[in-house]
Amino acid sequence: MKFGTKAIHAGVEPDPTTGAIMTPIYQTSTYVQKSPGDHKGYEYSRTHNPTRTALQNSLAALENGKHGLCFASGMAAIDAIIKMLKPGDEVISTNDLYGGSYRIFTKIFQNYGIRFHFTNMADLSKVEALVNENTKMIWVETPTNPLLNIIDIKGCAAIAKKHNVLLVADNTFATPYLQTPLDLGADIVMHSLTKYMAGHSDVVMGAVIVNDDELHERLSFIQNACGGTPGPQDCFLVLRGIKTLHLRMERHCQNGRKVAEYLKNHPKVEKVFWPGFEDHNNHQVAKEQMRDFGGMISFVLKGDKIEDATAVLEKLHYFALAESLGGVESLCGHPATMTHASIPSAERLKAGLSDSLIRLSVGIEDVEDLIADLEQAIG
């Protein structure tokens, strides 16, 4: 199946009892057994739920993986992955990272003896230089949040295989429509399904996709034992969102390109971060590993003053000032005080994230209206 057909059909079947074309919401906590241990594959909904099973199968198909696992949030998915490690283990990650990921790494798991190294992963020599006998995982986020840095997944996979460590790829910004990290050598793909995958700003959920049976068994155990699972209503909403993922992503990319070009030519804009520009760091890698360049854009105004950025954010209308991204509606945000506030200012600045940076999640509205909104706000 090609991607659009997968998005609509993969992993889902008409309900066998009624023929309902949409996967039912199995709003149940438990399941009746014919005899002790004699059941139909479902015992308790923390462990398995038919609506969740359909979603997990759909996600695995979209990522060209074998197994999918869903969690109550993207952070719960990250939590489960890092719980496979033990005290003394080390993780290498990018220095331009979602603030929530940085927070759980440094404020939670570092307290349990797991060490994290943050570096500019656009330069693979810096990644390999950090590998030592305690390294057990390389954590890639590409494009990164919020500077849209591009990391070579295939190159990281070669380093991971050479040193026998796991490679995890956070594919939230790209989605499997734009790139499939498992095909590029990653061992684990994770998503905040809250964003583009669900796509309608009405659900919070995370996911993990793998090919390896042993990894799936370990993560399934953590999923069930720790209980960070989503409810069937949310799984239904993500299944519904996935059916239009390919159409939405096409429009996000089209609008993103036009907005990025508009901003780049604006006399009051100093710099625009968007992987589609030829002068963007690792643009060539993006061309090779991505189908298109997405609808996420960050930019800095000339003068780099936080009060100027705040004034723009307050004036925007169609770009709603809110946390999150990837919905059908356009959103704007101020990473330094919102999504990345948990990262110390010195660390943010060292990674290139200035206090006046504005991040846009370009929606699927008519792009002329979005550009007019930016024009009236920037002036």
Q: What is the pLDDT of residues 222-275, one digit of tens each?
A: 999 999 999 999 999 999 999 999 999 999 999 999 999 999 999 999 999 999
Pick the residue with more confidence: 372 or 338? 372
Q: Which pLDDT score is estimated for 339? A: 74
| Beta-carbon contacts of residue 6 (< 8 Å; ≥ 6 apart) | 61, 62
Lowest-pLDDT range of 184-193, 290-299, 329-338: 329-338
pLDDT at 87: 98
| Model confidence at 358: pLDDT above 90 | yes
Residues of the chain with CATH 3.40.640.10: 3-240
Write down the mean pLDDT value for the chain: 96
Query: Would you state the structure tokens that stand for residue 313, as one six-digit string?
Result: 């954010």
Q: What predicted TM-score, i.e. pTM, was given to this entire model?
A: 0.95
Q: What is the pLDDT of residue 4?
A: 97
Lowest-pLDDT choice from 5-19, 153-167, 233-247, 359-373: 5-19
At residue 259, the pLDDT reads: 98
pLDDT category at 355 given cuts 50, 70, 90 is confident
Cα 193 to its chain centre, rounded Å, is 7
pLDDT value of residue 338: 83
Give me the mean pLDDT over the 88-115 stretch. 96
- The residues annotated with a catalytic role in the active site are 46, 98, 170, 195
| Domain 245-378: homologous superfamily in CATH | Aspartate Aminotransferase, domain 1 (3.90.1150.10)
What pLDDT is attached to residue 101?
96
Query: What is the average per-residue pLDDT within 7-33?
Result: 94
What is the C-alpha separation between 74 and 69, in angstroms, rounded? 11
Looking at the chain, which residues constitute the CATH 3.90.1150.10 domain(s)? 245-378
Question: How many percent of the chain have pLDDT more than 70?
Answer: 100
Q: What is the CATH number of domain 3-240?
A: 3.40.640.10
pLDDT tens-place string over residues 339-348? 777 777 778 7
Closest CA to 176 of 11, 338, 333: 11
3-state secondary structure at position 111? helix
What pLDDT is stored for residue 135 in this prediction? 98
**Are residues 297 and 360 in contact, defined by beta-carbon separation less than 8 angstroms?**
yes
**Mean of the pLDDT values across residues 344-358?**
81
Distance of CA 88 to the CA centre of its chain: 27
β-strand pairing of 269-273 with 206-210: unpaired
* Structure tokens, 101: 């990921």
